[in-house]
Amino acid sequence: MKQLILTSDDFGLSSGVNRAVEQGWKHGILTCASIMPGAAAFDEAVDIARRNPGLQVGLHLTLVQGKAVLPPAEIPDLVDGTGQFTDNPVAAGFRYFFDRGIYCQLKREIEAQITRVRDAGILLTHIDGHLNIHLHPTVFRILSELMPRYGITSFRLSQERLSHNLRFDGQRKLGKYIETVIFSFLTGHARPELDRLGIRCAGEVKGVLTSGRMTEAYILKIIEGLQDGLTEFYFHPGILPDDEISRRMPDYHHQEELAAIVSPIVRTRLETLQVQVQNYRGEVKC
């Protein structure tokens, strides 16, 4: 059987994202959303999650290009004076790996992000990360300790078939090749520990190589070649105008991605192909 999870990242980033998530859940095939605990519209996202209890909510761990949960005085080596992480993911990645002195601050912030969502009354069941930071070896080491403690049972292994992607989207070939090599290494590092912990993962994740361009036309092509078992698609839907998502992701096709999620054509094709749309808990939507 082919099973498909559809997740919106950046839940809580802005009102435009939050409204798109609710529309995608109510009127489309969205099954999950990943929330950013330090983002400006976090409280609004929590309200949406509470009034839509069937929408499964996970943690969109944010350690770059976003705001921390803890005050700057508690994690001075991670953020600036306003509590913002660096916008440079490469610099952050190297620093988190080589600077052992910030390990305890990273652990406190990661745990604080988990507990902020739980304290808001949301039962977290999966973890992914902004810019896939959750797969960083140092970050993953911390998560492998915290996930069992907090009952988190699912995790995004961000690996996508390069050949299948390039068949329908020939852009950024070199960049996609480099990303595939990097994510193959990171997922290979994480998988044995996840298996040991009994943490569930999708066999493939679509959106890694085409982030921000998961349009209806593209979705209709790639669903024809889904592998057996569990696949996850992740999106960045949004409703414009929205200053925050336009500033953060000016090249992303937010409204087109929302249109793909609510598309009756996509839903009908999935039904024809007998693809079961569900969340990480296994609850079936269609």
Q: What pLDDT, in 10s, does the model give residues 149-178?
A: 999 999 999 999 999 999 999 999 999 999
Domain 2-278 classification at class level: alpha beta
Q: What pLDDT, in 10s, does the model give residues 55-83?
A: 999 999 999 999 999 999 999 999 999 99
For residues 36 and 60, what is the distance between their CA atoms, to the nearest angstrom? 5
Measured between alpha carbons, how far is residue 258 from residues 59, 117, 165, 237, 255 in Å? 20, 25, 20, 5, 5
Q: What pLDDT, in 10s, does the model give residues 80-96?
A: 999 999 999 999 999 99
Q: Is 11 left (phi over 0), alpha (psi -120 to 50) or beta?
A: beta
For residues 85 and 62, what is the distance between their CA atoms, to the nearest angstrom? 9
The pLDDT assigned to 181 comes to 97
The pLDDT assigned to 170 comes to 93
Amino acid, res. 240 = L
Residue 228 token pair? 């057996």
> DSSP labels for 152-166?
--EE------HHHHH
Closest to 121 measured CA to CA, from 48, 17, 206, 21: 48
Give 271's Cβ-side CA count (13 Å radius): 9
The pTM for the full model equals: 0.95
Residue 81 token pair? 């004076």
Residue spans of the domains in the chain: they are 2-278
Task: State whether residue 83 is helix, strand or coil.
Answer: coil
| DSSP H or E stretch at residue 225 | none
The pLDDT assigned to 233 comes to 98
The mean predicted confidence, pLDDT, of the chain is: 96
The whole-number average pLDDT for the span 10-38 is: 98
Q: Is 274 left (phi over 0), alpha (psi -120 to 50) or beta?
A: left
Q: What pLDDT, in 10s, does the model give residues 221-256?
A: 999 999 999 999 999 999 999 999 999 999 999 999
Give the Cβ contact number of residue 117 at 10 Å: 25
pLDDT band at 215 (very low <50, low <70, confident <90, very high): very high
pLDDT band at 125 (very low <50, low <70, confident <90, very high): confident
